[in-house]
């Protein structure tokens, strides 16, 4: 009962019209954006938006991003837009930047998770823009995955998570970027970066030099094992993803972690950059190669596909290579890996690891 609308060279506007009709009739439609696939519904209609939450199994207090096709649409649904928000809109829209603004009262509570702010972005994707235009309303769309799973970068990922639970999927191939948008709260005293994403903080700083970082660190500290060196690595059944962060002798460390898990007869998979992959000594191991470390866009684009691929193999543990610079889209990659990890091993520069 989920209609798949596969776009080809001759059916674009027909497919978009069908999808827009479904949205107008209070239905849910998954569609590509430049970042990841989103699961859309009329943002101004609570009946429609509730269907998104139930399909995804999303906690009701987690607000949605409202997708718009013009700046006017953003102005329509928000209030007291500060000057620097307009600055960012002009610089980065359409594109992977979500701005948190004060909402107008008619934006339903379900959409904003009861907050008096609303998250807004203009996607840089023709399919998404045409769909929003034809639907004639702003479209609320979280990533089109089951809550807690990696975001979908292809229609196949959406099918595997949500087939039968939503009304339609517009399939227009793989996305360009592969990690979600950067989220910036424009309602606090100083603009606050809530989620690193497709737009790097360095690029934002050119417009907002005093932007503050409002994500992570604290909630990650519990996961961090301060590089245990030769210390035994404890296996716990909930420990599924082990992230090894740093640059100095990261492959050596990963080889050591692999052998520790193998001693305990556990099935291990690897999500690694090509450079690290080349240094893995155990040849009988499931490896997903993310691409070259220096080609960070490629790594970002492969990230969720890699997590899904290894996840489907029912492995006991997935070891992830965190030898990625915390800059540009690399900050988003590291952030998603830290979130996925049950355990994080941080290698200090110059640390000696016995092998
Ligand atoms: O690239 C993206 O942003 C994708 C595509 C589909 O546009 N969407 C996406 O949506 O990643 P979602 O729901 O998976 O993530 C939205 C994030 C969540 O972390 C949510 O808590 C935050 O934005 N958010 C939404 N509204 C907010 C608000 N009013 N205040 C603070 N955070 C908000
Ligand atoms: Mg999401």
Residues of the chain short of pLDDT 70, as ranges, are: 216-239, 349-355
Closest-lying ligand 1 atom to the alpha carbon of residue 98: 3
Handedness of CA 163, 165, 168, 171 (dihedral sign): negative
Closest-lying ligand 1 atom to the alpha carbon of residue 195: 19
pTM: 0.94
Q: Is 75 in the pocket of ligand 1 (CB under 6 A)?
A: no
Identify the pLDDT of residue 239: 39
User: DSSP letter at 189?
Assistant: S
Q: Is 145 in the pocket of ligand 1 (CB under 6 A)?
A: no
Identify the pLDDT of residue 355: 36
Give, using CA atoms, the residue closest to atom 24 of ligand 1: 63
Does residue 259 have a known ligand-binding role?
A: no
pLDDT tens digits along 153-195 = 999 999 999 999 999 999 999 999 999 999 999 999 999 999 9
Identify the pLDDT of residue 54: 98
Mutate to test the pocket of ligand 1, among 132, 157, 158, 183 (most ligand atoms within 8 A of CB): 183
pLDDT tens digits along 40-99 = 999 999 999 999 999 999 999 999 999 999 999 999 999 999 999 999 999 999 999 999
Q: Strands, DSSP E only, in 83-240?
A: 97-103, 117-121, 139-140, 168-171, 182-185, 192-195, 212-213, 224-226
Give, using CA atoms, the residue closest to atom 12 of ligand 1: 142
Identify the pLDDT of residue 234: 34
Identify the pLDDT of residue 223: 62
Q: Is 195 in the pocket of ligand 1 (CB under 6 A)?
A: yes
Q: Which of 346, 1, 334 has its CA nearest to residue 167?
A: 1
Q: Is 19 in the pocket of ligand 1 (CB under 6 A)?
A: no
Identify the pLDDT of residue 8: 97
Q: Is 122 in the pocket of ligand 1 (CB under 6 A)?
A: no
ipTM above 0.85, yes or no: yes
- As a whole number of angstroms, the distance between CA 267 and CA 259 comes to 11
Other residues' Cβ atoms within 10 Å of the Cβ of residue 325? 13
The alpha carbon of 179 and the centre of ligand 1 are apart by a number of angstroms equal to 12
Identify the pLDDT of residue 11: 98
Q: Is 115 in the pocket of ligand 1 (CB under 6 A)?
A: yes
Q: Is 111 in the pocket of ligand 1 (CB under 6 A)?
A: no
- As a whole number of angstroms, the distance between CA 296 and CA 292 comes to 7
Q: Is 63 in the pocket of ligand 1 (CB under 6 A)?
A: yes
- Ion ligand 2: residues, CB within 5 A, are 143
Closest-lying ligand 1 atom to the alpha carbon of residue 179: 1
- As a whole number of angstroms, the distance between CA 179 and CA 100 comes to 19
Identify the pLDDT of residue 224: 59
Identify the pLDDT of residue 349: 66
Other residues' Cβ atoms within 10 Å of the Cβ of residue 192? 17
Does residue 62 have a known ligand-binding role?
A: yes
Identify the pLDDT of residue 225: 53
Q: Is 116 in the pocket of ligand 1 (CB under 6 A)?
A: no
Where do the H-state alpha helices sit in the chain?
12-24, 46-56, 71-77, 83-92, 109-112, 126-135, 155-162, 201-205, 218-221, 250-263, 274-277, 296-311, 329-340
Q: Which of 267, 272, 266 has its CA nearest to residue 250?
A: 272
The alpha carbon of 130 and the centre of ligand 2 are apart by a number of angstroms equal to 22
Give, using CA atoms, the residue closest to atom 20 of ligand 1: 63
Give, using CA atoms, the residue closest to atom 7 of ligand 1: 38
Q: Which of 289, 300, 309, 295 has its CA nearest to residue 337?
A: 300
Does residue 35 have a known ligand-binding role?
A: yes
- As a whole number of angstroms, the distance between CA 248 and CA 225 comes to 16
Identify the pLDDT of residue 66: 99
């Amino acid at each position: 009962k989920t209609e798949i609308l596969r776009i080809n060279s001759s059916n674009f506007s027909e497919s978009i019209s069908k999808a827009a009709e479904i949205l107008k009739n209070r239905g849910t439609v998954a569609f590509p954006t430049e970042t990841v696939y989103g699961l859309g519904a009329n943002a101004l209609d609570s009946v429609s938006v509730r269907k998104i939450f139930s399909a995804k199994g999303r906690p009701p207090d987690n607000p949605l991003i409202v997708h718009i096709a013009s700046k006017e649409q953003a102005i329509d649904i928000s209030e007291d837009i500060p000057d620097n928000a307009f600055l960012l809109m002009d610089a980065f829209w359409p594109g992977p930047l979500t701005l948190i603004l004060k909402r107008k009262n008619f934006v339903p509570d379900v959409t904003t998770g009861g907050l008096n702010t609303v998250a807004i972005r203009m996607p840089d994707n023709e399919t998404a823009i045409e769909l929003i235009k034809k639907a004639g309303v702003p479209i609320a769309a979280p990533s089109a995955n089951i809550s807690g799973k990696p975001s979908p970068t292809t229609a196949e990922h959406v099918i595997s998570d949500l087939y039968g639970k939503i009304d339609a999927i517009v399939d227009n191939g793989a996305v360009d970027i592969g990690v979600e948008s950067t989220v910036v709260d424009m309602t606090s005293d100083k603009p606050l970066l809530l989620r690193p994403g497709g737009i790097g903080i360095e690029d934002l700083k050119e417009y907002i030099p005093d932007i503050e970082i409002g994500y992570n660190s604290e909630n990650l500290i519990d996961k961090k094992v301060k590089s245990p060196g030769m210390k035994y690595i404890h296996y716990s059944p909930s420990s599924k993803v082990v992230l090894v962060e740093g640059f100095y002798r990261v492959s050596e460390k990963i080889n050591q972690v692999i052998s520790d898990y193998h001693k305990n007869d556990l099935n291990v998979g690897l999500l690694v950059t090509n450079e690290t992959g080349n240094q893995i000594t155990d040849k009988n191991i499931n490896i997903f190669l993310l691409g070259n470390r220096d080609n960070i866009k490629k790594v970002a684009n492969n990230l969720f596909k890699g997590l899904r691929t290894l996840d489907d193999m029912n492995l006991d543990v997935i070891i992830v290579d965190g030898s990625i610079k915390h800059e540009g889209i690399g900050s988003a990659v590291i952030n998603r890996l830290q979130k996925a990890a049950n355990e994080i091993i941080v290698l200090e520069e110059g640390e000696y690891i016995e092998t």
